[in-house]
Structure 1
Amino acid sequence: MYNIGMKIFINDTEAIFLKRPNRFIIHANIDGIEVICHCPNTGRMGELLLPGVKIILEKSHNPGRKTAYSVVAVYKGSLIVPIASVRANRVAAEIIIPSLFDNPIIRSEVTYGESRFDFLVEEEDGKTFIEVKSCTLFDGDRAIFPDAPTTRGLKHINGLDFATTKGYKAMVIFVVFNPHATTFSPNYITDPKFAQSLEFVSSRVKIIPFKVGVEEDGNVVVPNESRILPVVYK
């Protein structure tokens, strides 16, 4: 793996996870003091946020914010899993998309039809709408998405498929935050509608599960080979 010099979080301090009373708040223990932190991911993350696990906190520089820290990553054994899902878009824009396209013009937050997609990539031979998803659920060496039912994700899948009927290309990038993953699967158990829809559109919408690693200082590392995982459907 190689370090590309990109950070997706700042490790200001580390703490112990205590509890998560709602989707937006996490209680953490910093050197014996209980601190309320912001949670930037509304997914369940039940396999990650276990009492006693070590977490990484990033300090907010907004003096008007109620919480001083955001939880930006969780240790899963020796694996560091970022949970600020929106930051997967940076990985896609700066690492993944440039590796998939030649000299692309990249526009972000583009609306088409009833959907707003993360990116529109323009090339001489056409335009590609791209939606990015952060994958943080793993079963052994298999990456799985989603970890909770996602009506928003389903809408994006259907919107991308619709775009292909109008002459556009379409792609879903799953940023897999596990450099040891070897396969990717949609989660038929937790969200069968999303999983079945992803499988249904896969002949028209490109599915790109791209694996990366993250170091404790927030640096992103990329495997030298086999970065794009094979998709295993049910």
Structure 2
Amino acid sequence: MNENNYYFNNHLQEAKIVKRETQFTIKVNINNKVETCHCPVTSRIGNVDLNNISCLVSSNKNNKRKLLNTIEAVSFDKNNENWIGINQIFSNKLMEFFIKNNKFPKMINNFKTLKREVKIDNSKLDFLINNNLYLEVKTPLVTINVKYDKNIKIVPFSKFTSYDRLIKHIEKLTKLLENGNQAILAIVYQYKITNFKEWLHSLNYLEVKKVMKIAINKGLKIWNINIKITKEKASLLSYENITKKVLTCC
């Protein structure tokens, strides 16, 4: 098995979004039957009207769940060649898989041990690696870095405040750096980047900018992780240290 690939236990199903009902639910047409699916991301997904957009759906046979189907990815291109993964929790699962298979040698030196959801004061960070490297995973979906098909309907941009948790985690990482640890912020894109766009600025953008700059100067490293989603698998495409680029733009 190619360890650059994470294979789904069951293939994802292709469907069409009918409409987003709430933050947590989306109605989709699967095999000519309209069903309500769980939406794993509560924020906006790009600046796109999701009605009639193609999507990939996973099924769960756990009868304790109210909704057995989950939207895993959407497509903003005509031929569905570049699925955009939207399950942010899945990013952590993928990162664990690729870390344990030593797929980030330039990012993680001499991997030995990994712990998930490490408690730091009153919050948690995603990973502790080799007992001295803290790694936090973020999957941004407000800005989608792909070229949209001409038929994609754009919705007006509205101001938002969605980076409070990011600020909190960056401040935690900064404190850990001051105590002699290492820290990484991994920005995971579950799609192939085809059109890099400037991030849409939140209402607390200046605060994000400030804490990010302080953290980088203390030693925080920032990496882009690029992953491709298909019906069968998730494949690691590339990873890149973008710390200098972020510092420049900050």
| TM-score (norm: length of structure 2) | 0.77
Q: Over residues 180-232 of structure 1, what are the superposed CA-to-partner deviations in whole Å (9 max), with x where a residue is unaligned?
A: 35868654346503344223322221111122222232332424xxx316334
Residues in 2 aligned to 1:8 and 1:199: alpha-carbon distance in whole angstroms:
38
Please give the secondary structure, in 2, of the residue aligned with 1:202.
Answer: helix
Residues 1:10 and 1:150: Cα distance change in structure 2 (over 3 Å): farther
Residues in 2 aligned to 1:49 and 1:8: alpha-carbon distance in whole angstroms:
28
Alignment root-mean-square deviation, CA: 2.7
Establish whether residue 80 from structure 1 lines up as the match of residue 83 from structure 2. yes
Residues in 2 aligned to 1:138 and 1:83: alpha-carbon distance in whole angstroms:
10
How much does 1:41 deviate?
A: 1.4
Alignment of 1:15-34 (within 5 A): 15-34=15-34
Counterpart of 1:144? none
Alignment of 1:85-164 (within 5 A): 85-96=88-99, 98=102, 99=104, 100-101=107-108, 102-122=110-130, 127-136=132-141, 137-140=143-146, 149-164=162-177
Alignment of 1:188-207 (within 5 A): 188-189=201-202, 191-192=204-205, 193-204=207-218, 205-207=220-222
Establish whether residue 213 from structure 1 lines up as the match of residue 216 from structure 2. no
Aligned residues: 222
Is the CA contact (8 Å cut-off) linking 1:187 and 1:195 kept in structure 2?
A: no
Using the aligned pairs only, state the percent identity.
Answer: 20
Structure with greater proportional strand content: 1
| TM-score (norm: length of structure 1) | 0.82
How much does 1:31 deviate?
A: 3.2
Is the CA contact (8 Å cut-off) linking 2:46 and 2:144 kept in structure 1?
A: no
Q: Over residues 110-158 of structure 1, what are the superposed CA-to-partner deviations in whole Å (9 max), with x where a residue is unaligned?
A: 11233310011116xxx111111113432458xxxxx961322221111
Residues in 2 aligned to 1:184 and 1:198: alpha-carbon distance in whole angstroms:
19
Q: Over residues 56-106 of structure 1, what are the superposed CA-to-partner deviations in whole Å (9 max), with x where a residue is unaligned?
A: 111111113222311111112131011111111122222257312213311
Residues in 2 aligned to 1:37 and 1:59: alpha-carbon distance in whole angstroms:
9
AA of the residue aligned to 1:113: D
AA of the residue aligned to 1:206: K
Residues in 2 aligned to 1:70 and 1:168: alpha-carbon distance in whole angstroms:
37
Is the CA contact (8 Å cut-off) linking 1:132 and 1:173 kept in structure 2?
A: yes
Which region of structure 1 is more displaced relative to structure 2, 212-221 or 84-93? 212-221
Please give the secondary structure, in 1, of the residue aligned with 2:211.
Answer: helix
Structure 2 residue runs of 5 or longer lacking an equivalent are: 148-159
